[in-house]
Chains A and B, each alone.
Chain A
């Protein structure tokens, strides 16, 4: 029996577009936490490169390959975005692989307005020079923990990862602040 119930539910309400700002939820994305085992970071790097064709980013950065992107969220810790957990099996010898696809709501924010909006919200410098494409920051917006990713330089594009249970509160804040 599969009545389509495997389809993930959106975490956020809809966001009507604003001038210079499009906010859309990305539903159903595979998100997997990858944590290098002790002393295995180099090995993991090698496996990721051969198996997935991506160079694991150093530090809080995003590196995208064909089907998968890695986002640095802590020392030896990444979110692998795009491929289901099963596809990461080759990494299992050198890393913990934990599916988090259900844990996050993901928003994409694009446009000049996105930069302004997020710049107001997070207490980190979002200037192009400081937070260009590929930058990642795990931080807080109004008491809610988020991981913010700059996916493109122009027009400015971001992804915002927030755990599902907080998604509606964050949405309230976004609605208020977008005006």
Chain B
């Protein structure tokens, strides 16, 4: 038979018999149709055994037909595209689909670990807390690895996910969650009223239960009605219909998370995260059926009655040859009718109720035997259900041969999303389940709100949609509710749970049985939240959808508390499991975070630049020349070139803030530790900022361009934090000061030109456009000038310790300016240098940087105590005087060099006295920055040493056990090259 041997000859609301599809399961090639789910295609192919349970590795078949599925978890795809633990009931079948079962070895039919089931008495709930403690070392070596290997369901690929992902933001008046009758009506009502509506449905077809039931609406089959409603919605410009769209979470301020999957064969992202902000939502997620708890209720072939109806009506797939029904509600009987109508064989109907109405009895197919007040003592069969042992109200016991049992135990509304934000549920006696309450932010419609029947669903959906539209300002006339056939809603009846010797499963996926619950209660875990954590009930991929209410009933039964005083464990996002990659979107690999590139980037890339991350920026570390053996050779060359000739380095990444206004000098005096109001116009001053807590925040320069105009610089790493801090000072602390702040980091491309020939370079390049003679333009001068039509600024500042300048031009001509500079530089025998050479030179000069200004150091620690002005107050001044910050014995900045000049050491080494035994007490500080100094021919370092200032000349160990080093070093002043700074002033 096309589409599988168990495929019915006709019917099937969503399958397309004209579109056959081939797929594989555990290597078997199978047929199905477009519009099938993987689960329905397996049913159509007569496959009942689809997986193994988590703990006992029991053979399992499909329990459900939708998101509630606990058993039918398969592995999809191959290689890096593998997707483990996928609910077969939610997989849209497509040509070439590769699927396989999991958690079994060597095969699904024969699984070695099924022995676990034999040991199940030992493996009762919580057994592992009581054992595996001796001998102590065996836990990590033996027990735990064994547990870890047998736990877990599927296997991850271990390879990078090849999929593409994307994100979308969307806004609407009304978000309707779920496209069953309630959701469709809500969307129609709100859409017709003119509201902006988004309808999100996780299935690939709209209709919900309408697709699975043989209802009539407006005189047509319910699935035809839903297709018509879908067409109307698709045609409305103010309505967006999202199919394959799982709403997974409700977040603050009307934000919802939705993962929309691509249709099979669709190009573009595999999944897209929609962040939907809505004025209000309609929750119309339906209800799911409850299984019945009895011994052996997990045999493959035992299903929910609603699932059987889905397979039969929606997919025209018959799940068994001899079907029995076990029901606590009227659904069982309806299911029998549907099976019979499809030509299936119903052998028996078992109703737990002692009496049923004659109308109901009349529904039973003629051949079906009826048992009232019935219970099942055992489900039988190994890899598939073969028979059940039944007793009825009169004690009549019988074994009935059956290969499919449909269970109908009442309904559980899917109200999870209503409590993501802390909403509450209330017990409905009518349906025997807790239901969520509507709020203006989220109206509950249909079965999700306990309005189980079709008529109620349609009406409550329309009402919710209208109310939501109205709340968004779209008034509309009441909507006509279509006439429909309807369900008989059975008032819920409690049923004592089966006390059977056989395992009676409550949580199928996690193998939690009724007995486990009783045991947990005995051990004191008698409330649902404790029960969950002790037994793992409800902690599987289905989050206990089919288990939670049965568990509560059993708990109530065992403890004697009314179940209505118990609440199911809390629901949390995601409502449906969502891929990590979908949450991450396109932000991965190289594009994990955007890159900031300075204007010189292309030049650097073309000239051997090797790049490194500096905060968000990419900066050249060095420029390799052909023939250079390693990076150190390159860096040594760059340093030596700068120290002897000239080099150019892009320093645009430093943060720059333009500050102006009548009060700017007063303001900067408060922000910096040193005086800025005394900086003459045309001069630059080095400055230090403290945090309010008195530790150093950042250092940089302040250049006074005019009486009321400064431009200040920050370090690359701290640019954002300093901007935020200065804005805080301006807006919150002293709004009365008239100061404007404009970040100009991106406006100015800025290049350092350093080395004894830097003036020559500028002279060659700028000629008489600006007088840069030492007299006219001394150290720390700043001047704006016209560089051939470009507004430029020249600063005489130096990080390298050489005669040096920084030139700034608008970044839009930054690339051209860099080329000009490099042209002139190369002509003088100079070179471009990168961050590594920059670092070497600043260590040679003893300038502090990020490794020293690490948020834990004071100005005095850094040797900058003198920069704390005594003449004025400034941010951080008071708290910097706290005893521990002002203590004299704090580690202070020193220079270090190896006693044996050929020796080496590294940043992060600690200082220990020679001969000292390593201990916290003996620890005297640490090395912060280390470099090989080509100028001196040996390693040099900066570090913080206890009482450092008083210990020059001492020898101490740089102890670095994590690198296996221990080097004797000498404490020297923290300036190795030109300590007097003579070169700056030439």
User: What residues of chain A have their CB less than 8 Å away from a CB belonging to chain B?
Assistant: 1-3, 5-9, 11, 28, 33, 35, 37-39, 95-96, 98-104, 119-127, 130, 142-144, 163-166, 168-170, 172-173, 176-177, 179
A144 to B463, CA, bound (A): 42
Closest to B711 in A: A98
How many A-B pairs have beta carbons closer than 8 Å: the answer is 137
By the criterion CB–CB under 8 Å, are A35 and B740 in contact?
A: yes
Given contacts A122-B169, A125-B171, A143-B587, contact A165 B660 (CB under 8 A): no
Q: Does B814 contact A (CB under 8 A)?
A: yes
Chain A binder among B531-539, B551-559, B596-604 = B596-604
User: Contact check: which of B594, B660, B740, B746 meets A144 at CB < 8 Å?
Assistant: B594
Query: Taking the nearest CB of chain B, how far is it from the CB of A74, in angstroms?
Result: 10
User: Contact check: which of A6, A166, A173 meets B586 at CB < 8 Å?
Assistant: A173
B595 partner residues in chain A, CB cutoff 8 A: 166, 168-169
By the criterion CB–CB under 8 Å, are A169 and B740 in contact?
A: no
A7 partner residues in chain B, CB cutoff 8 A: 813
By the criterion CB–CB under 8 Å, are B594 and A119 in contact?
A: no
A120 to B586, CA, bound (A): 13
User: Contact check: which of A33, A142, A177 meets B594 at CB < 8 Å?
Assistant: A142
By the criterion CB–CB under 8 Å, are B816 and A99 in contact?
A: no
Q: Does B81 contact A (CB under 8 A)?
A: no
By the criterion CB–CB under 8 Å, are B169 and A9 in contact?
A: no
User: Contact check: which of A101, A168, A176 meets B597 at CB < 8 Å?
Assistant: A168
Given contacts A96-B660, A125-B171, contact A142 B812 (CB under 8 A): no
By the criterion CB–CB under 8 Å, are A5 and B740 in contact?
A: no
Given contacts A1-B788, A35-B742, A143-B587, contact A169 B749 (CB under 8 A): no
By the criterion CB–CB under 8 Å, are A96 and B816 in contact?
A: no
A123 to B274, CA, bound (A): 11
Q: Does B666 contact A (CB under 8 A)?
A: no
Query: Taking the nearest CB of chain B, how far is it from the CB of A155, in angstroms?
Result: 17
Closest to A126 in B: B171
Given contacts A99-B791, A99-B810, contact A5 B816 (CB under 8 A): yes
Top 8 A-B pairs ranked by shortest CB distance?
A: A102-B810, A169-B594, A8-B812, A96-B740, A165-B596, A38-B738, A163-B746, A103-B747
Closest to B739 in A: A38
User: Contact check: which of B167, B662, B810 meets A101 at CB < 8 Å?
Assistant: B810
A143 to B597, CA, bound (A): 15
For window 256-314 of B, CB contacts with A under 8 Å fall at 268, 275, 277
A142 to B592, CA, bound (A): 10
Closest to A125 in B: B171
Closest to B735 in A: A38
A166 to B598, CA, bound (A): 9
By the criterion CB–CB under 8 Å, are A142 and B587 in contact?
A: yes
B196 partner residues in chain A, CB cutoff 8 A: 127
For window 165-222 of B, CB contacts with A under 8 Å fall at 166-171, 196
Query: Taking the nearest CB of chain A, how far is it from the CB of B837, in angstroms?
Result: 22
By the criterion CB–CB under 8 Å, are A96 and B742 in contact?
A: yes
Closest to B819 in A: A5
Query: Taking the nearest CB of chain A, how far is it from the CB of B595, in angstroms?
Result: 5
A51 to B169, CA, bound (A): 41
By the criterion CB–CB under 8 Å, are A37 and B740 in contact?
A: yes
User: Contact check: which of B277, B586, B594, B812 meets A102 at CB < 8 Å?
Assistant: B812
By the criterion CB–CB under 8 Å, are B169 and A123 in contact?
A: yes
A178 to B811, CA, bound (A): 28
Given contacts A8-B812, A177-B166, contact A166 B594 (CB under 8 A): yes
By the criterion CB–CB under 8 Å, are B277 and A125 in contact?
A: yes
Known A-B contacts: A35-B740, A169-B591, A169-B595. Give 13 more (CB < 8 A): A2-B788, A8-B810, A8-B812, A9-B812, A9-B815, A11-B812, A37-B738, A100-B744, A124-B169, A127-B171, A127-B196, A143-B593, A179-B268
Q: Mark B808-848, 1 if CB is under 8 A from A, else 0.
A: 01111111110010000000000000000000000000000
A166 partner residues in chain B, CB cutoff 8 A: 594-596
A38 partner residues in chain B, CB cutoff 8 A: 661, 735-738
Most buried by A among B268, B275, B277, B810: B810
Most buried by A among B658, B660, B811: B811
Q: Does B524 contact A (CB under 8 A)?
A: no
Q: Does B790 contact A (CB under 8 A)?
A: yes
A120 partner residues in chain B, CB cutoff 8 A: 166-169
Given contacts A142-B594, A165-B597, contact A102 B587 (CB under 8 A): no
14 contacts between A and B (CB under 8 A): A5-B817, A5-B820, A8-B812, A8-B813, A37-B740, A38-B738, A96-B742, A100-B742, A102-B814, A104-B746, A164-B811, A165-B746, A168-B595, A169-B594
Given contacts A5-B788, A5-B816, A170-B594, contact A98 B744 (CB under 8 A): yes
User: Contact check: which of B593, B741, B747, B789 meets A6 at CB < 8 Å?
Assistant: B789
User: Contact check: which of B737, B746, B809 meets A103 at CB < 8 Å?
Assistant: B746
Query: Taking the nearest CB of chain B, how far is it from the CB of A176, in angstroms?
Result: 6
B139 partner residues in chain A, CB cutoff 8 A: none
A8 to B594, CA, bound (A): 23
A35 to B742, CA, bound (A): 8
B427 partner residues in chain A, CB cutoff 8 A: none
By the criterion CB–CB under 8 Å, are B812 and A164 in contact?
A: yes
A96 to B735, CA, bound (A): 16
B617 partner residues in chain A, CB cutoff 8 A: 165
For window 717-755 of B, CB contacts with A under 8 Å fall at 735-738, 740-742, 744-749
Query: Taking the nearest CB of chain B, how far is it from the CB of A86, in angstroms?
Result: 10
Query: Taking the nearest CB of chain A, how far is it from the CB of B817, in angstroms?
Result: 8
Closest to B810 in A: A102
Query: Taking the nearest CB of chain B, how far is it from the CB of A160, in angstroms?
Result: 14
By the criterion CB–CB under 8 Å, are B742 and A98 in contact?
A: yes
Query: Taking the nearest CB of chain B, how far is it from the CB of A143, in angstroms?
Result: 5
Closest to B789 in A: A6
Closest to B748 in A: A102
A122 partner residues in chain B, CB cutoff 8 A: 169
Query: Taking the nearest CB of chain A, how far is it from the CB of B237, in angstroms?
Result: 12
User: Contact check: which of B169, B746, B790 meets A5 at CB < 8 Å?
Assistant: B790
A102 partner residues in chain B, CB cutoff 8 A: 746-749, 809-814
Query: Taking the nearest CB of chain B, how far is it from the CB of A6, in angstroms?
Result: 4
Query: Taking the nearest CB of chain B, how far is it from the CB of A50, in angstroms?
Result: 22
Given contacts A2-B788, A144-B594, contact A99 B747 (CB under 8 A): yes
Query: Taking the nearest CB of chain B, how far is it from the CB of A36, in angstroms?
Result: 8
Given contacts A102-B813, A122-B169, A165-B596, contact A142 B586 (CB under 8 A): yes
B167 partner residues in chain A, CB cutoff 8 A: 120
A173 partner residues in chain B, CB cutoff 8 A: 586, 591, 594
A9 partner residues in chain B, CB cutoff 8 A: 599, 812-816
B587 partner residues in chain A, CB cutoff 8 A: 142-143
Query: Taking the nearest CB of chain A, how far is it from the CB of B363, in angstroms?
Result: 51
By the criterion CB–CB under 8 Å, are B586 and A176 in contact?
A: yes
Query: Taking the nearest CB of chain A, how far is it from the CB of B810, in angstroms?
Result: 3
Query: Taking the nearest CB of chain B, how far is it from the CB of A121, in angstroms?
Result: 7
A169 partner residues in chain B, CB cutoff 8 A: 591, 594-596
Query: Taking the nearest CB of chain B, how far is it from the CB of A73, in angstroms?
Result: 10
By the criterion CB–CB under 8 Å, are B812 and A101 in contact?
A: yes
B810 partner residues in chain A, CB cutoff 8 A: 8, 99, 101-103
B740 partner residues in chain A, CB cutoff 8 A: 35, 37, 95-96
Most buried by A among B275, B742, B809: B742
Q: Mark B771-803, 1 if CB is under 8 A from A, else 0.
A: 000000000000000001111000000000000
Given contacts A6-B789, A9-B816, A176-B586, contact A103 B811 (CB under 8 A): yes
Closest to A102 in B: B810
Most buried by B among A1, A5, A127, A163: A5
By the criterion CB–CB under 8 Å, are A2 and B594 in contact?
A: no
A103 partner residues in chain B, CB cutoff 8 A: 744-747, 810-811
Query: Taking the nearest CB of chain A, how far is it from the CB of B788, in angstroms?
Result: 5
A1 to B790, CA, bound (A): 11
Closest to A122 in B: B169
For window 658-682 of B, CB contacts with A under 8 Å fall at 658, 660-662
A96 to B663, CA, bound (A): 13
A3 partner residues in chain B, CB cutoff 8 A: 788
